[in-house]
Structure 1
């Protein structure tokens, strides 16, 4: 089994989970196929900047994208932006495409999209690694805020 900070963190959490290893993929659609699951079960972890040094993680189902107007309203701010790859790496220890709340260097606030439920397949902290677990348990463990912050692609 692969050993990443994310895999170690989820194992230590006590959450029921399954680690899935698969080959290199170039898109969320390919990730869903490689994991053998529906696209909406793949959960992307996106790091967003509210202000200088003020970052948060957004959990977005694979068939959806951030709706920036909705997210700004939920956050109570007029401006948000994607964190740079460098900011995300410094805060989480993970490169884009491998970012996950599990084992992150910094515990960032998490907002989970309101449509999440059932199986969640979240990044495992390395290319070709995913962690499958129950979305409700994931959200509760992360103490994530649930909110309508996405739209269909």
Structure 2
């Protein structure tokens, strides 16, 4: 089985595992299905910085983007999340499968600093698939950066 994400991860030379799982309805179910802690199931969120300009933010499953922190890091006053159709157009992937690996465009990557030194699970470009990768290696090959850009999920 292959996807553009799996092909890109292979081409990058980093070590990774492809994890196959059934349908899931939440981050908690996805973490359980993949056999990882919720904090290691990393959501790839597409953020619109300007018209036609996006970036990927890698967010641990137990956290959410801190908009004030992300705006301060990027030196901007306004950021937004594109709708599902725009995110697919920008990345080539549907929501729930988005990953920086094999994206239609190599948008900048910012990984929350809490992923540093961990093995994380990212989307693999197709429902029911995940990529388990060392975060440091993944962020390096994606020319990304680590930063404190999240906050705990509010109940």
Structure 1 stretches lacking a partner, 5+ long: none
How far is 1:94 from its partner? 0.2
Structure 2 counterpart of 1:144: 144
Tell me how far apart the structure 2 counterparts of residues 47 and 152 of structure 1 sit (CA, whole Å).
19
Partner secondary structure for residue 141 of structure 2: helix
Asked whether 1:40 is paired with 2:39, we answer yes
Partner secondary structure for residue 82 of structure 1: coil
TM-score (norm 1): 0.97
TM-score (norm 2): 0.95
Structure 1 counterpart of 2:87: 88
Q: Within 5 A, what are the aligned runs for 1:1-150?
A: 2-117=1-116, 118-150=118-150
How far is 1:27 from its partner? 1.2
- Root-mean-square deviation (CA, aligned residues, Å) is 0.8
Structure 2 stretches lacking a partner, 5+ long: none
User: How many residue pairs get matched?
Assistant: 152
Tell me how far apart the structure 2 counterparts of residues 51 and 111 of structure 1 sit (CA, whole Å).
16
